[in-house]
Each structure stands twice: as C-alpha cells, then as structure tokens.
Amino acid sequence: MKRSEFYEKICQLPLNCELLDYYEALYQMVESYQDTVPSWELIVEVLDRAARIASGEKLSLDKSELLEENKNDVESLLRFLQGKIDYLKANGVPKNVYDETNISYDDSVFNWNISIILERGAAWMTEGNEEHLPFDEPPTWATIIELISIGIEYE
C-alpha cells in the first residue's frame, strides 16, 4: 500500500463516534485479530471495523489466540488502549477552559476527537516527498500506538 493510499483510507473511515466508544471497540478488534500478522490493509480494516462497532453496528467478534510473534506488540497495544479507556472513564474528555472545545492548550495542543487523531497520525506517517511510495517497513500492532500517539499531539 502506498503512503498516500493509507492516508486516504484513514480519512474515509466512518468516525461518527465518541472517543471512549472507539477505544473500546478497537480493543475488541485487536483481540479478535491478534492471531494475524498485520499488513497496512489489515490495520485500515481493524480501524474501520472499530469505527463501525463504536457507531453501533453489530459485528460478530471472537477473541482469537495470541500469535506468539505478535505477543509484545499486542500486549503493549492493549495496555495502551486500556490506559486510554480508564482515563476517559475516570475523567471524560477534557474541555478547553477558554472555548469549551475538546482541545487543551498548555505546552502543546492535544486532540480529543478520534477522526482528528487518526487523520493527524496518518498525515505525519505519510507526509513528505515519498507519499507516492509504499511504506519502507511492514506495520506491527504497535503501529496503531504510534498512529494514535502522534495524532493526539500532532497539529
């Protein structure tokens, strides 16, 4: 998959859902695909199916067996998502005290909208003069951590 194709597919995800719902759905999706070595296409599929579940679509999911070669990345991703879920359940989505948006201004800007998070993460991963080329390396499950982490902060 070309970098520009990845970005376009991320921008087309049906992300009409709350951040907490998306993270919970993504957690379920990772558990159901943890027996698969990810490709760029699979990463997009997992993100897309999570969006559909978070928006209320009923999809049948079964927890799969953890593939040993995925173990570290899957465990890291699930811990990362659980941390996000726990934070949002305890604190909700922060509001900016100045204009009540879901953006907080301190030393940097943080995105709290999943469509912005994924779009900004994908933009960072695909920008530059090589956007028409395929990615240099295959993704891992930890790629989703990178996508979300960068998207939270990247403006």
**CB-CB neighbours of 23 under 10 Å:** 24
Instruction: For 49-95, write each residue's pLDDT tens digit.
Output: 999 999 999 988 888 999 999 999 999 999 999 999 999 999 888 76
Evaluate if residue 107 carries a pLDDT over 50: no
Q: Identify any residues that bridge with 2 across adjacent strands, giving them in sequence order.
A: 134
Whether this prediction's pTM lies above 0.85 is answered by: yes
* pLDDT tens figures, 29-54: 999 999 999 999 999 999 999 999 99
Identify the band that residue 101 occupies on the pLDDT scale cut at 50, 70 and 90.
low
Q: DSSP code of 70?
A: G
Domain spans, the chain: 3-153
> 75 and 68 in contact (C-beta within 8 Å)?
no
